[in-house]
Amino acid sequence: MTVDTPTQEAIHGFEIFRHETRIQIVEALSSADVPLACTALASELPDEPSASTQSASSQEQALHHLHLPILEKTGVITYDAETLQITAFNQDRLATLIDATQGLLQSLEAREGYDR
């Protein structure tokens, strides 16, 4: 297994924070017990504004095919696509990604001030 650089860690963090649903997922998981079924998670999340006319199964499909695989790629969750369950939530990994994202933003702000 390769170790991510701080920039790669920040990119993983941005993958989470760039979509409101993924932020809501990690917020929900912070207070939920795992394993957690995709259907249970979908029922805890507010409807996306663009998806307010979609059914609950549509939201579950978005979780299953888009959001949960991305969160698994970042290492924040372990998702079993066969059973449709989140089997692990790694709060330490989430904290690492938050720190890396903040560090990159601070670094960019410092460079911007230097160039002026």
**Is 1.10.10.10 the CATH classification of the domain at 6-115?**
yes
Spatial separation of the C-alpha atoms in residues 65 and 69, rounded to whole Å: 7
Mean pLDDT of 30-44: 95
Q: How far is the C-alpha of 89 from the C-alpha of 79, rounded, in Å?
A: 9
pTM of the full predicted structure? 0.84
User: How does residue 114 score in pLDDT terms, banded at 50, 70 and 90?
Assistant: low
Average pLDDT on 41-59 reads: 72
